A and B are shown apart, each in its own frame.
Chain A
């Protein structure tokens, strides 16, 4: 493999690793904040026990999220230096803002939250976890603004003298319609992830305790966790669907090739069907694809709210792009402007499919916990644990679809010719010159192995702390803020 292929694999692997942990942090930090708020407001110990329990899981997850995130800040310069030169004037701004406005807040206030249980007044300590929750979501906004700019550049012009994209409107970059759709979609998906996580673990524990005869803890602690998780999951789920629909409509306008590939839509069609299942060799020859099950007109409807609308197909777009951009490969032939059809087609379907996965848990939970009930049905506990995986998978497939659907571009051209003419770059021109294939192969192997080991350890820790459950209330007495500087009192928490 050459440096380009290796660099793409490296970025893909490290980003997917990072985004296993990110949605849980984004969604779980506000949920822990909600639990702690409930404890501070009601004084009910159940919320304190839940705060501590899910707080531990949050911290185990936060650490690996930070660890896998550090790499991303530098990987642009390391492996994609030519891209960085081209976009730095625009792309660097949201990145630097993210660090200044969000990373500092979350890292500092998380430290205060972890170690401050008995050092800070109750309400200030509560404010710390809220600061973490808000900053985590804010950082998602900035990085998504940066990513959305690569999908749909705005607020910039191409400067022929310097050969780079130059920013002329930060407001446009931060209010890119693409990020205004991508942010709610990502955030609500993160809420579904965390909601499923909390409800799934709560369901498993509730069933276990009912079967063991500990009805009190099942009813008093885990049932509220299931209910809270379920509410977050349902609200998030509705948000994912609405924002996903809005995002698809934008994508038909902004990146028609991506959506045409996702639907394996070969030729320009009026009233395009939505394909549910297809067979055949999808690898970049869409005429080979046989659509087995399709819903008539649905794709056109999703794109435009009109069942009969005309959508451009892959072939016509290819011809149009060849004319417009004129990139050639080493033999002088026009390059293919199609993303990998297999990945985009299945990435899209798996995202939606797995996204629906947690709904089964939500519906079952809604029924089985109605009116203060608890349940001893073993399948419900199993469903709870199994459902936890589905939003993680949906998020990964969604990002793989978004990112690989952008190929061969690293900065996709804005089809609207006003303002951002010339701001586009193909991935092959963005890769670094210096490290070479050997250098990138070294780092690819190193990151993959290290992340692999850490992911296994992460899983074992999460599993171990999950099956430990909430501590009995006598082990988690209400922490009291004490400022008496009692010299010999042990720390409330120490590493």
Chain B
């Protein structure tokens, strides 16, 4: 196989890792505003949700940085065209990811309702924005964009908001919401688990309809190859299974089904692109795995690095999930150990002499 093809597949694998793992992180973040009931138990339920992904969200996010770095190394023209072309959507995604990172780590540091309310806003917005915009971005790549002869994107910002792309955004948002709900069903216990299961059962049929509509549209209108119908079929079967499993509350199966759906989505997206990486309206200007790639030497070096390191990453990330495999319920959540901004705890009562 050509090394350019190997790297096309490897980047698809990195995006698969990102969307499957960060997908439920986004889902949990988006559900933070929807799932917990109103009332005194709300804070505790939110902490249950956040802590189901507490030890792993950071590692999950690195799949994105690696996908970005790998694209830069293997297909620099693609990296340059894509990120300068989709400048504003990417800016929004980055701003969302920034506030999300600090909100995770800083939320519990101060024991104050207003502080936590701000952190929750950051987590919710920081999850919704990328969940929608990654779908919009990928749909536009599948659909093709306006590139000039220098491979510069000249379509402007508003052209990115076409119906197909917006449906793509809705699809990823729904997929992540459902994925997050079934993940919570698998990782939490008690009230959160029940509510997540009920919500997952209600979300799954909607996701099935929207995702199937987008997938068929993508396949019929934009796919370069016929075999990607297989990915559409797998996604459809997985989505039907997801609906069935959420209705009967088979949590493990539901999670596998939503994960398989996301894998199938990546296969459909990348499969329908190949051998392009960024098709242009005028196909003479399209970026392909050949004209966008690095040299054979660079690809060879990077292949060795990836072949050695990727299995290790999977191994220790898998181990992390094993270490933190236990379900989390409200009973497991310790009292807040955050401080207040008012005055140091140790100084209460003592005076400096």
Which one of B159-167, B200-208, B241-249, B337-345 is at the interface?
A: B337-345
Residues of B within 8 A of A104 (CB): 59, 62, 66, 309, 313, 316-317
A105 to B317: give the CA distance in the assembly, Å. 9
Whether B84 contacts A166 by the Cβ 8 Å rule is: no
Whether A167 contacts B58 by the Cβ 8 Å rule is: no
Residues of B within 8 A of A119 (CB): 323-324
**Contacts A88-B76, A107-B59, A494-B334 hold; do A434 and B85 have CB atoms under 8 A apart?**
yes
Name the distance in Å between B95's Cβ and chain A's nearest Cβ. Answer: 6
A55 to B43: give the CA distance in the assembly, Å. 25
Whether B79 contacts A92 by the Cβ 8 Å rule is: yes
**Contacts A59-B105, A63-B104, A434-B84 hold; do A93 and B301 have CB atoms under 8 A apart?**
yes
Whether B58 contacts A84 by the Cβ 8 Å rule is: no
A115 to B97: give the CA distance in the assembly, Å. 22
Chain A, residues 90-103, CB within 8 Å of chain B (1/0): the string is: 11110111111101
Chain A, residues 58-91, CB within 8 Å of chain B (1/0): the string is: 0110111011101101101111011011011111
A490 to B294: give the CA distance in the assembly, Å. 51
Which one of B48-56, B263-271, B277-285 is at the interface?
A: B48-56
Chain B, residues 56-95, CB within 8 Å of chain A (1/0): the string is: 1111011001101111111011011111110110110011
Whether B82 contacts A77 by the Cβ 8 Å rule is: yes
Whether B94 contacts A88 by the Cβ 8 Å rule is: no
Residues of B within 8 A of A465 (CB): 109, 339
Interface range, A side:
35 or more
**Contacts A108-B316, A110-B58, A468-B339 hold; do A81 and B47 have CB atoms under 8 A apart?**
no
Which one of A32-40, A205-213, A270-278 is at the interface?
A: A205-213
Which of A59, A98, A112 contacts B69 (CB under 8 A)?
Answer: A98
Asked if A114 is at the interface of the complex by the 8 Å CB criterion, the answer is yes
Which of B51, B97, B306, B332 contacts A70 (CB under 8 A)?
Answer: B97
Asked if A442 is at the interface of the complex by the 8 Å CB criterion, the answer is yes
Which one of A191-199, A318-326, A413-421, A456-464 is at the interface?
A: A456-464
Q: B144-177: which have CB < 8 Å to A?
A: 150, 152-154
A67 to B81: give the CA distance in the assembly, Å. 24
Which residue of B is nearest A112, CB measured? B320
Asked if B253 is at the interface of the complex by the 8 Å CB criterion, the answer is no
Asked if B108 is at the interface of the complex by the 8 Å CB criterion, the answer is yes
Whether A70 contacts B94 by the Cβ 8 Å rule is: yes
A88 to B70: give the CA distance in the assembly, Å. 10
Whether A167 contacts B302 by the Cβ 8 Å rule is: no
Which of A167, A213, A433, A495 contacts B47 (CB under 8 A)?
Answer: A495
- Would you list 23 pairs from A and B whose C-beta atoms are within 8 A, ordered by A residue? A78-B84, A84-B72, A85-B76, A88-B76, A96-B73, A100-B310, A101-B305, A104-B62, A107-B62, A111-B54, A112-B320, A115-B324, A116-B55, A167-B294, A167-B297, A212-B350, A468-B345, A490-B331, A494-B51, A494-B54, A495-B50, A495-B51, A495-B105
